[in-house]
Amino acid sequence: MIHDSLSRRTLLVGLAALAGASPLRALAQGARPAIHVMKDPNCGCCSAWIEILEKDGFAVTTEDSMGTLLARYKLDNGIPQEMVSCHTGRIAGYMVEGHVPPADIRRLLAERPDAIGLAVPGMPYGSPGMGPETEREAYEVFLIRRDGATEVFSSYGAA
């Protein structure tokens, strides 16, 4: 009888330890960063950028929005007018505006600056989702500070 209760107790402790280790295992394996993207439902480049993020390991959810609603969302979340592009993502408390490369998003998440987020203003040809990188025009990714100031976060030369 004592042997059976010890076995059950051992089993329960083992199951509890296993359940507790599951979140740690997910962290060790590098859980997919989740990003939510507001986009125009008729925009093909937004979909292309989302596919690039998914292939790079991001877990992407989308929400269609357009016109003044999408513009208001950007402004309400601290994206300066001169930094605006076609779609806007939110990840880990940061905003990601436009065709920002996945590597820059990962760097933002690793460095965790006190900022609103990143932006690639406009739609530069050859940025992720905007045509082949082999024909890329030069563009910059900007860090948007909380006071609205911007600075270059990374630069991509013409291909």
Question: Does residue 137 surpass a pLDDT of 50?
Answer: yes
- Do 59 and 107 fall within a single domain? yes
- Do 66 and 13 fall within a single domain? no
* Residue type for position 55: K
Query: Beta-strand (E) ranges in 1-157?
Result: 34-39, 59-64, 88-91, 94-98, 115-120, 139-145, 150-156
Q: What are phi and psi of 38, to 5 degrees?
A: -95, 125
More confident site: 61 or 4: 61
Give how many domains the chain has, as a whole number: 2
**Between vectors from CA 128 to CA 26 and to CA 130, what angle results, nearest 5°?**
150
Residues with Cβ within 8 Å of 51's Cβ and at least 6 positions away in sequence, in order, are 129
In tens, the pLDDT along 6-24 reads 555 554 444 444 444 434 4
Burial class (CB in 10 A: 0-12, 13-18, 19+), 137: middle
Q: What is the CATH number of the domain that holds 102?
A: 3.40.30
What single-letter DSSP state applies at residue 127?
S
- Do 24 and 38 fall within a single domain? no
* Residue type for position 140: E
- Do 120 and 93 fall within a single domain? yes
123-148 average pLDDT score: 96
- Do 58 and 95 fall within a single domain? yes
**pLDDT score recorded for residue 30:** 61
- Do 3 and 80 fall within a single domain? no
Average pLDDT of every residue of the chain: 87
What single-letter DSSP state applies at residue 66?
-
What percent of the chain is modeled with pLDDT above 70? 81
Paired tokens of 40: 């125009």
In tens, the pLDDT along 44-88 reads 899 999 999 999 999 999 999 989 999 999 999 999 999 999 999
Paired tokens of 18: 């296993």
Q: Label the pairing between strands 88-91 and 115-120.
A: unpaired
Paired tokens of 21: 């280790």
